[in-house]
Structure 1
Amino acid sequence: MKLHWSPRSPFVRKVMIVLHETGQAGRVECVRSAVAFAAPPNPAVLADNPLGKIPALVLDDGTTLFDSRVICEYLDGLHDGPRLFPAEPAARFRQLRRQALADGLTDILLLWRNERMRAAGPDPVIAAAFETKVRACFAALEADAAALGSTAFGIGQAATVCALGQMEFRYAGSFWEAAHPGLAAWYREVQARPSVAATAVRDDSGAPAGDDSRSPFAFASA
């Protein structure tokens, strides 16, 4: 199998966490595939995924799977260990709900960064809406923090790791940890999990971080 991959993508990271959790990392060839919202589509990615987005998983028969949710569920069906997508309905929908929340937060963070990088500057109405949604998402994650740690690691926890990793990577100085102590404690603890440690976000662009890495708001003072 071939995976269109980037060490900076939070959604690629979710797939990589699943690969490590299920013992399948060695089955996939990771192909560095650069994509950007405000740039022409990467022809190599577009050939496999008409959306021009990563991750995209090319199976041995040439079929391509996308997006990360589809890929993760497919991979979870290829092993005999504990499932990240539980079969029991109540547990399954708890994990799917967590994934939806975390993936939605990640989407907002990515879109907000693109908005901030516009030459004319961000639209204040859009920026305010993004901030309101990010604050609401973090409040919901804080309320779920105890359950994140007390239930078996699943696709919801994996997606949450990726959302918080994106927050660290692109929104330095938001001080979310101080405002959400339960979530911060869980996040510190989960860093020791091998699949999480092995997939830490890495900027291989060679470019300096720049102002876009700073958060446009703060949850609390330092």
Structure 2
Amino acid sequence: MATTPQALSGPGTGGRAVLRSTLTSPYGRKVRMAASVLGLTPRIEVIAADTRDLSDDLRRQNPLGKIPCLMTDDGTLFDSRVIVEYLDTLAGGDRLIPREGVARFRCLTHACLSDGVTDAALLMVYEDRFRAPAQKSDEWLTHQRGKVERGLTALAAAPPDPRRTDAASISLACALGYLDWRMPVAWRDRWPALVAWHDAFAAAEPAHAETERPQ
């Protein structure tokens, strides 16, 4: 039975939790999309974080200095998978993640697979962005590209239901959105089943458009 969500409140925020993230982070987008689907967006204030700025207090909020990071009266939470499950629990549970049984672990595994695609794509982008040309490793890039390609192949063979918004579909939508933006791997021509899935999910879930990165 669903319960009324608790107040998301962080110290000094006027009854609102604080999400440290950016509007371009695929992991932050996962949290923002989950919050939108669950009706919790009005209770969360997004405050930009700069993971490379040594003066940003993000490092005190999350010792790893990573985003997203959610500060609530229940404590400070990270990473995105933990935050999404926390929000789902506040909303009564069993909405984004099945409460129990094999379905729960299947959903979480599919979400982790999509997150792994994002992780590998991000590492490819960072290799290109933060290393001098002479320092770049083609072997490393090939290694990460293989993860993206194998992950997309597996996801294309058994995608989540695009008409149901859960942790698995949110993670996949954010992974594909990141690939569209940064383009470490050209995916649309090679995995048309995922293009069709992405279009169907975007049409069915308003939070997809609501959480797209600023143009």
Q: Do they superpose with TM above 0.5?
A: yes
Verify: 1:181 aligned to 2:188, yes or no: no
CA contact (8 A) 2:32 2:211 kept: yes
Identical pairs, percent: 37
| CA deviation map 1:138-185 (0-9, x unaligned) | 11111013x4336x321011000110011001007x541222121110
Q: Which runs of 4+ in 1 moved over 4 A?
A: none
Asked if 1 retains the 8 angstrom alpha-carbon contact of 2:50 and 2:56, the reply is no
* Counterparts of 1:94 and 1:23, CA distance in 2: 25
User: Is residue 70 of structure 2 the alignment partner of residue 57 of structure 1?
Assistant: yes
Corresponding residue for residue 27 of structure 1 = 43
Is contact 1:22–1:81 with CA below 8 Å preserved after alignment?
no
> Aligned to 2:165, which of 145, 153, 165?
153
- Matched residue, 1:47: 60
Aligned length: 196
Q: Secondary structure at the match of 2:140?
A: helix
Matched to 2:148, the amino acid is V
Distance (whole Å) between structure 1 residues aligned to residue 36 and residue 94 of structure 2: 13
- Structure 2: which 5+ runs fail to align? 1-16
Per-residue deviation at 1:32? Answer: 1.2
Aligned: 1:127 with 2:141:
yes
Deviations 1:181-206 (A, max 9, x none): 21110101112211111001236xxx
Q: CA deviation at 1:105?
A: 0.8
Contact 1:142 1:182 in 2 (8 A): yes
Secondary structure at 2:57 match in 1: helix
Aligned to 1:43, the other structure's residue is in SS state: coil
Is the counterpart of residue 109 in structure 1 residue 121 in structure 2? yes
RMSD of aligned residue pairs (Cα, Å): 1.8
Tell me how far apart the structure 2 counterparts of residues 19 and 42 of structure 1 sit (CA, whole Å): 28
- Structure 2: how far apart are the matches of 1:202 and 1:177? 22
Report if the CA contact (8 A) 2:162-2:198 is conserved. no
**Equivalent in 4, 27, 30 of residue 14 of structure 1:** 30
The answer to whether structure 1 residue 98 and structure 2 residue 114 are counterparts is: no
